[in-house]
Amino acid sequence: MKKSEIVAALNEKDFSHFYEKADLIRYREKGDYVFIRAIIEFSNYCSRRCAYCGINADNKNISRYRMTASEITDTAEAAVKAGYKTIVLQSGENHKEDKKELGRIIRAIKKNQVAVTLSIGELSYNDLSYFKECGADRYLLKHETSDTDLYRSLHPDGNFEERIKCLRNIKKLGFEAGGGFMVGLPGQTIESIADDLLLLKELQCDMAGIGPFIPHPDTPLSESGSGSTELSKRAMAIARILLPKANLTVTTALGILDPKERDSAFHCGANVIMKKITPDEYKEDYCIYPARFDRTDIIKDRREIERIVVQTGRRPI
């Protein structure tokens, strides 16, 4: 699809034809399976001040934590026992992170024969290469927005070119590369969402997360409105059409705004969902946007997500 076609599609009054097409492609390429991934948010230390994010360095209203190595590996092991086949390790961007220790953690988790996904921000080629050697299989780094002016205004500490360079290095090193962006950032246009989608294609992303922006009260964007769940689903459907083989995640943000929209996203091209398994003592402090969290029970929570997936007519894996 060309940019003008994507813009026209996203603006259509009746989008059902594109949802049907995306769902057919998803079925052809992925079958009825929905991958359920476990995510451990192992640290909320962050050196960046991204204007949308609740764990940005300027937010003094949260306690900063870093799980110990054994807390991380024990949590991962409990997830493996519950049936998860992928462990996602996510954190704020913290250049003081002990790389060797994280390397040992990855090696320990890999002994369980599961896939390990990292989502720890921008890294140098050498650091990415080191984590690849340690056994990490996948790397998530959303480009957030392809509108370079908007990107600059939201990221006082980063630049778009560096982020894209990092994504290209991720791909070059043989990781499964995960991109993505937020929908509904203040100032974002439909044209720039079309560019976001074309960028995912150009980068040949193996995975993508496309979800609504949710304002956090302790950030510079606290007064902004949330992104549209409908537009997020539309963007995801176009992503499925552009990248038929990609693994597309129903973002947690979509489910927080509306659980029904989360469930319907499985019929709009999505085939992946993530479940937070961060221990209770930490998860309130990993608040990238406001959300209510129930107590974690890794086995029970997994069964609950499986039930939801089955209810949507799909098969959990």
End-to-end CA distance of the chain: 31
Q: Between residues 43 and 271, which has the closer beta carbon with respect to ligand SAM? A: 43
Phi, psi of 244 (to 5 degrees): -55, -35
Q: Is 151 in the site for ligand SAM (CB under 6 A)?
A: no
Q: Is 253 in the site for ligand SAM (CB under 6 A)?
A: yes
Q: Between residues 93 and 206, which has the closer beta carbon with respect to ligand SAM? A: 93
Sign of the Cα pseudo-torsion (251, 257, 258, 264, in order): negative
Q: Is 160 in the site for ligand SAM (CB under 6 A)?
A: no
Largest CA distance in the chain: 52
Burial group, residue 113, by CB count within 10 angstroms (0-12, 13-18, 19+): exposed
Give the separation between CA 101 and CA 295, rounded to whole angstroms: 28
- Segment lying near ligand SAM (by CB under 6 A), choices 165-173, 194-202, 213-221, 269-277: 213-221
Strand residue runs (E) in the chain: 33-43, 86-91, 115-119, 138-140, 176-183, 207-212, 247-250, 272-276, 315-316
Of the candidate residues 288, 291, 298, 308, the single one contacting ligand SAM (CB under 6 A):
288
- Segment lying near ligand SAM (by CB under 6 A), choices 58-66, 97-105, 115-123, 166-174: 115-123
Q: Is 213 in the site for ligand SAM (CB under 6 A)?
A: yes
Give the separation between CA 199 and CA 148, rounded to whole angstroms: 13
Q: Is 119 in the site for ligand SAM (CB under 6 A)?
A: yes
Of the candidate residues 97, 144, 261, 306, the single one contacting ligand SAM (CB under 6 A):
144
* Cα→Cα distances 117→85, 131, 140, 274, Å: 11, 10, 7, 12
- Segment lying near ligand SAM (by CB under 6 A), choices 1-9, 98-106, 116-124, 187-195: 116-124
Q: Between residues 216 and 262, which has the closer beta carbon with respect to ligand SAM? A: 216
Q: Between residues 51 and 82, which has the closer beta carbon with respect to ligand SAM? A: 51
- Segment lying near ligand SAM (by CB under 6 A), choices 27-35, 190-198, 209-217, 296-304: 209-217
Q: Which residue has the tokens 């552009």?
A: 242
Q: Between residues 121 and 316, which has the closer beta carbon with respect to ligand SAM? A: 121
* Cα→Cα distances 295→135, 245, 273, 283, 298, Å: 31, 35, 19, 9, 9
Q: Between residues 18 and 131, which has the closer beta carbon with respect to ligand SAM? A: 131
For ligand SAM, the binding residues (CB under 6 A) are 52-53, 55, 90, 92-93, 119-121, 141-142, 144, 182, 213-214, 216, 253, 288-289
